[in-house]
Homo-oligomer: A and B are copies of this chain.
Amino acid sequence: MAGIIPSGNTRLFIVVGDPIAQVRSPDVITRLLTDRKEDAVVVPMHVASADLPTVFDALRAVSNIGGILVTVPHKQAAFGLCATTSDRASFVQAVNVVRRTRDGWHGDNTDGLGYLDGLEKEGFPVAGRRCLLVGCGGAGSAIALEIMRRGAGMLAIHDIDTERRDAIIEKLDRLYPRRVVSGDANPAGYDLVANATPLGMRPDDPLPIDASKLEARQFVACVITKPEVPPLIQEARRRGCRTMTGVGMFDAQALVLVDFLLMRPPEPEVCLKSG
């Protein structure tokens, strides 16, 4: 695919962030839209936090803008600027994408979907499995919810912020009673070991878990995209584990994002009230 030349008919999708230079969605999502024969382009907008409400309001007035992808540090603030959100987004109190509706922006959080779609693409559905999730910030809590929605047998959550950890466990326990517990850095006994901390982005970071206890039968997944193969994934591969990197999650999520932006398929029902 060689590229696009916009016209007066081109629909816009925006990605907002601060900084913005690192975002991959203008490239990746524009290609996917073009593959689907859409006359549309994703363009970056570098917006400071203080200006986000003004920009969200004004972009609503631009009728050929279909939606906005939201990256760091705007995911929580953007949640507050939505007219409606999915239950997923409401669970995490953060959105990474919004699309235009008659009533305002409708937001969703696709981090969990991307992570779990990526795992399934690697041949690892979580249904019935025992899972350890390390880190339950924005991405981590979205992933925790989606692990349970897809029928994991149990989920242990480890986070050095024990207050945050306990709050998420309590929320999930209400939806999935007695299947979500607190864990620690020891991966022994789990089928899935999922890292959702930033540990591994900097060369001198410690590993998020005790990798010496990893076994070849385990699946190890990580949210980090830079470096593409962080030390945890290197170590897991050395021990014979199957793995998914952050890029695997990102690629799977890109498809989810395009579907959401184009409203195809129609918004799935996400009901947090049922167990």
A1 partner residues in chain B, CB cutoff 8 A? 5
A262 interface residue per 8 A CB criterion:
no
Partner of A62, one of B3, B8, B24, B47: B47
A198 partner residues in chain B, CB cutoff 8 A? none
A42 interface residue per 8 A CB criterion:
yes
- Evaluate contact between A5 and B22: CB separation under 8 angstroms: no
Interface centre among A15, A31, A43, A46 (most CB of B within 10 A): A43
A180 nearest CB across to chain B (Å): 36
- Evaluate contact between A24 and B8: CB separation under 8 angstroms: yes
- Evaluate contact between A46 and B26: CB separation under 8 angstroms: no
Interface centre among A4, A8, A26, A65 (most CB of B within 10 A): A8
A274 interface residue per 8 A CB criterion:
no
- Evaluate contact between B20 and A5: CB separation under 8 angstroms: no
A267 nearest CB across to chain B (Å): 25
A59 interface residue per 8 A CB criterion:
yes
A7 nearest CB across to chain B (Å): 6
A41 interface residue per 8 A CB criterion:
yes
A11 nearest CB across to chain B (Å): 9
How extensive is the interface on chain A, given as a class? 35 or more
A69 nearest CB across to chain B (Å): 11
Partner of A8, one of B3, B22, B54: B22
A23 interface residue per 8 A CB criterion:
yes
Residue interface bits A25-40, CB-to-B below 8 A is 1, else 0: 0110011000000000
Partner of A6, one of B2, B7, B41, B57: B41
Partner of A55, one of B17, B46, B62: B62
The distance in angstroms between the C-alpha atoms of A123 and B20, with both chains bound, is: 47
- Evaluate contact between A51 and B43: CB separation under 8 angstroms: no
Chain B: CB-nearest residue to A58:
B58
Chain B: CB-nearest residue to A4:
B3
A44 interface residue per 8 A CB criterion:
yes
Partner of A61, one of B31, B54, B62: B54
Partner of A46, one of B27, B51, B62: B62
A64 nearest CB across to chain B (Å): 5
A45 interface residue per 8 A CB criterion:
yes
Chain B: CB-nearest residue to A24:
B8
A228 nearest CB across to chain B (Å): 17
- Evaluate contact between B54 and A6: CB separation under 8 angstroms: no
Partner of A3, one of B3, B9, B15, B44: B3
